[in-house]
A and B are shown apart, each in its own frame.
Chain A
Amino acid sequence: MYIIIVGGGKIGYFLARQLLHDQHEVLIIEQNQDKSAQIAEDLGEIVMVGDGCEASTLERAGMARTDMVIALTADDEDNLVVCQVAKHKFNVPHTISRINNPDNERIFKMLGIDATISSTGIILAHIEQELPTHPLIPLLTLKGGALEIVEIKVPPESRIIGQPIKSLLLPQRSLIILVISPDGQARLPAPDTIIQTGDEVVAVTMPETEESLRSALASSGF
């Protein structure tokens, strides 16, 4: 795949490194000369210096033939415009935007961005997970916000511990897609998979059923 990353910060850098390792063709667009030079030194000539919001920069970057654009700058308005220009001017099939201000998640959905990742929101949720409230961590939104992928660490007091997946009462159109044990082993859930203490569960759900899913997976009572 040909993937364009706008923003050569830490996330852009490590993502590019991983994608290159996975044999993808990658281009990072970064405005800062020094940052660009550093990336080029580490990862090779995969950097273009320029403003990723300028349509002319994107054109030179080969936007017309790219499969995916990932906007990772620290400014939400820049990420929004990068994705909108990619989508509407160059018909790029997939756009992913990082969101810095968690409040903008809803706004980006309303403005039609395919997938968003709220970096601040994820970090906050991970910290909150260590608190006794056990929230869902939003990992990714799909279908313009109609579906989302969430993660939850099943608390020790949860009623689902020791239960097979087939016996769980999940809200409609919510689906457990992965169970990760404390040692990091990921298992694809089968009907007879038993949820163990310390497991993390990754599920697909809808924004409106998020709270009932959380309650189904984390509550202690019946």
Chain B
Amino acid sequence: MRVIIMGCGRRGAALATMLDAEGHNVTVLDVDAAAFSFLPDNFGGTEIVGNGTDELSLRRAGIEGVDAFVSTTRGDNRNVMAAQMAKHVFRVPRVITLVHDPIREEMYHSLGLRTVSPTKIVASALRDVLLAEQETAGGEEQQETKVSEV
């Protein structure tokens, strides 16, 4: 699969590293060349300095003809603008975007974008861990009581 990843922060870089290791053809796009330091030394994909909301940069990254586009920057607006350009202007078949604000996430999802909300995912993961630990802690407390009784 040929994929462009916009944003080479920790998340973008981690995704790029995974896909590259699995043999996909990956291009990473970031406005800051320093961001590419998040990628491992053996990264086999292409690194391009450019803005994902800029038509010219997207063309330079080879957006015409890719199979997928993922926007992963910290800015929701940049992400959804780039994703909409990929989907509606360049007709990329698979477009996925991070949207941190749950309200905007819901709206763009209903407008037909494939959105992923790190906020919701992390919150529910934290909740799961918290509740699991509470159960374990509850168990330990009872055991301790027993021990003290003995």
| Contact A111–B54 (Cβ < 8 Å) | no
Chain A residues lying within 8 Å of B53, measured Cβ to Cβ, are 76-77
The smallest beta-carbon distance between A121 and chain B, in angstroms, is 15
A107 and B55 contact, CB distance less than 8 A: yes
Which residues B29-78 have CB closer than 8 A to chain A? 53-56, 75-78
| A residues near B81, Cβ cutoff 8 Å | 76-77, 80-81
Select B89's contact among A54, A80, A88, A107, beta carbons within 8 Å: A107
Asked if B54 contacts A103 (CB within 8 A), the reply is yes
Shortest beta-carbon distance, A71 to chain B, in Å? Answer: 11
Contacts of B104 in A (CB 8 A): 53-55, 81, 85
Interface set, chain A 62-108, CB cutoff 8 A to B: 75-78, 80-81, 84-85, 88-89, 101, 103-104, 107
Q: Once the chains bind, are A55 and B75 in contact (CB under 8 Å)?
A: no
Known: A85-B104, A101-B54, A103-B54. A78 touches B89 (CB 8 A): no
Known contacts being A88-B111, A110-B89, A111-B88, is A81 close to B103, with CB within 8 Å? no
Verify if B116 is at the interface (C-beta below 8 Å from A): no
Q: Which residues of A contact B132 (CB under 8 A)?
A: none
Q: How many A-B residue pairs have CB under 8 A?
A: 55
Q: Is A38 an interface residue, CB under 8 A from the partner?
A: no
Whether the Cβ atoms of B76 and A88 lie closer than 8 Å is no
A78→B108 CA distance, assembly (Å): 14
B80: CB under 8 A from chain A?
A: yes
Given A56-B103, A85-B107: A107 and B76 within 8 A (CB)? no
Q: Give the total of A residues in contact with B, Cβ under 8 Å.
A: 20
A contact patch SS = helix
Question: A96 to chain B: closest CB distance in Å?
Answer: 17
Chain A hits for B77, CB < 8 A: 53, 75, 77-78, 80-81
- Which residues of chain A are within 8 angstroms of B108 by Cβ–Cβ distance? 84
Q: Check B84 for interface membership: any CB of A closer than 8 A.
A: yes
Compute how far the CA of A104 lies from the CA of B54 in the bound complex, rounded to whole angstroms. Answer: 8
Please, how many angstroms separate the alpha-carbon atoms of A104 and B81 in the complex?
Answer: 11
Asked if residues B101 and A111 are in contact (CB atoms below 8 Å), the reply is no
Residues of B within 8 A of A104 (CB): 55
A88 contacts across to B, CB distance below 8 A: 107, 110-111
Q: From B56, B84, B107, give the contact of A55 (CB < 8 A).
A: B107
Q: B19 to chain A: which residues have CB within 8 Å?
A: none
Contact with B along A147-158 (1 / 0, CB 8 A): 000000000000
Question: Pick the contact of B80 from A56, A75, A81, A89 — CB < 8 Å?
Answer: A81
The 5 closest A-B pairs by CB, nearest first: A55-B103, A77-B81, A77-B77, A81-B77, A77-B78
Chain B contacts to A: CB under 8 angstroms: 53-56, 75-78, 80-82, 84-85, 88-89, 101, 103-104, 107-108, 110-111
Task: Show 26 A/B contacts (Cβ-Cβ < 8 Å), sorted by A.
Answer: A53-B76, A55-B103, A55-B107, A75-B77, A77-B53, A77-B75, A77-B82, A80-B77, A80-B80, A80-B84, A81-B80, A81-B104, A84-B80, A85-B107, A88-B107, A89-B103, A89-B107, A101-B54, A103-B54, A103-B56, A107-B55, A107-B85, A107-B89, A110-B88, A111-B84, A111-B88
